[in-house]
Structure 1
Amino acid sequence: MASSRDADKQRSFSKEAMGARLRAIRKEKGFTLKQLSQASGVALSTLSKAELGQTALSYEKFVAIALALDVDMSVLLQPDGEQPSNRLNGKVIKASMQDQHDYQTATYRHQFFFSEISGKVMTPIVATVFSRSVDEFSEYIRHPGQEFAYVLSGAIRLVFENGEEIRLKRDEAAYFDSSVGHVYLSTSKTPARVLAVCTDVPERGVDVGQRTPVAGRKKARSI
């Protein structure tokens, strides 16, 4: 019988697996790395490192890459070359936390729910927030749409590029325009856990805009 540690490892979607998945889809779509960088706005060096499994991609970059490749973001989140199933088409689908693959960056651990379903207008994510300072980010996270955040445990500080910020503790929530740059910071003793629901992006081909660098950061860092 597999141990819980083995089970967690099996559910983890590694940077290497994501890189292989991204490279396969890019080639299938006929993009060079340079072309994908130009179309998505994601730095060529970041794309190259991501495909080599040397860096993790943030949600924002997932969105930008999916738009450029003209694919549903769920396609990028399928391990082992699996394909997401069709749209809901009247179905009701149940999921448990234990069944979700997780994808970890330096600042967050993401568990993307229902990534096997294509055509969603919402992306539900349970995120464990490790970051505690804005200095841990090279840029604010921003993507088209709206975002709902509900604190499951711990406490967070949501910091926005326009100078606003909001503090949330367990069972408190926020709803905001996710095109405004933002970062989640944990303010509790242990990493906070947050349910975040992001709405679908606009029609494919719409410019997702320029990312805003975090003031004071001299060295870029993928998140």
Structure 2
Amino acid sequence: MPNLKAQRKQPTIPLERDGAAPHIDHKAVGGHLRQARKSRELTLMQLSERSGIAVSTISKAERGDIALTYDKFAALAHALGVDFDTIFGRTPSRSSGPFEPTLTRSGKQLIYDTPNYEYGMIANDLVGKRMVPMRAHIRARALNDFPDYIRHSGEEFVFLLQGKLELHFESGSVFKLEQGDSLYFDSAQGHVYISTGATEAEVLVCCVDTDDHRPPQSL
């Protein structure tokens, strides 16, 4: 998960030739995940037991056959004692002082695709950051689009940029957001985002892990 120190570093994934936003390669992510697991001498079963993620899911993710949702990334990162940067193939480094401002141009966010969400990773070239900011499109249209509610440690803020959005919580609470509305909540509460307008909802999301759950700096 995000570390307290941050260091600016050039992205390791090049822009697509047409100038569009680059997409994260699921197979490359899977390779980094497998490398992190093996470097800790963990079997798939052991990592499954530590993270609560099914062996089959971890195996498919390591092969690049599936995209992981944020909650599964968080669970695996916690279990491995690494942050997202390591799984994305970037090596966090300690900063001796304040880091430089990081600009992300509109439409140039690094894209990570999943069936229900398209995550646009903001400030992707800043490794080890405390926050995980994203500009995302919500593809899900119904609660049954999800096999389960999403849960991960920390706190979460969402601001609706465009469209209409519902946030459903496992407690039964439902929050309906119109453009310009926002919601701040405990990410450990099971939750899902659902688009309810004519087009996919576009949101600004920021996740912050809690100090109690944040793993140590990567080796």
Give TM-score, length-normalised by structure 1.
0.81
Quote the residue 1:68 is aligned against. 79
Question: In the alignment, is the contact (CA less than 8 A) between 1:83 and 1:116 conserved in 2?
Answer: no
Question: In the alignment, is the contact (CA less than 8 A) between 2:160 and 2:202 conserved in 1?
Answer: yes
Instruction: Write the distance in 2 (CA, Å) between the matches of 1:88 and 1:62.
Output: 28
Question: In the alignment, is the contact (CA less than 8 A) between 2:83 and 2:128 conserved in 1?
Answer: yes
Structure richer in helix, relative to its length? 1
Quote the residue 1:23 is aligned against. 34
Alignment match of 2:97 (pick from 84, 89, 94): 89
AA in 2 matched with 1:38: E
The 3 A distance-change label for structure 1 pair 88 and 115 is farther
Q: Secondary structure at the match of 2:27?
A: helix
State whether structure 2 residue 144 is matched by structure 1 residue 135.
yes
| Unaligned segments of structure 2, at least 5 residues | 1-14
State whether structure 2 residue 197 is matched by structure 1 residue 188.
yes
CA drift of 1:89 comes to 3.0
The 3 A distance-change label for structure 1 pair 83 and 55 is same
Quote the residue 2:67 is aligned against. 56
Q: Secondary structure at the match of 2:76?
A: helix
The CA RMSD measured in Å over matched residues stands at: 2.2
State whether structure 2 residue 50 is matched by structure 1 residue 39.
yes
- Residues 63-212 of structure 1: matches in 2 within 5 Å? 63-78=74-89, 82-87=90-95, 89-91=97-99, 92-204=101-213
The 3 A distance-change label for structure 1 pair 37 and 6 is farther
AA in 1 matched with 2:29: M
The 3 A distance-change label for structure 1 pair 158 and 52 is same
| Unaligned segments of structure 1, at least 5 residues | 207-223
Instruction: Write the distance in 1 (CA, Å) between the matches of 2:171 and 2:96.
Output: 37
Q: Which runs of 4+ in 1 moved over 4 A?
A: none
Instruction: Write the distance in 2 (CA, Å) between the matches of 1:151 and 1:131.
Output: 15
Higher relative contact order (CA 8 A, sep 6+): 2
Q: Percent identity?
A: 38
AA in 2 matched with 1:67: H
Instruction: Write the distance in 1 (CA, Å) between the matches of 2:95 and 2:182.
Output: 29
Instruction: Write the distance in 1 (CA, Å) between the matches of 2:18 and 2:124.
Output: 22
AA in 2 matched with 1:43: A
Question: In the alignment, is the contact (CA less than 8 A) between 1:85 and 1:117 conserved in 2?
Answer: no
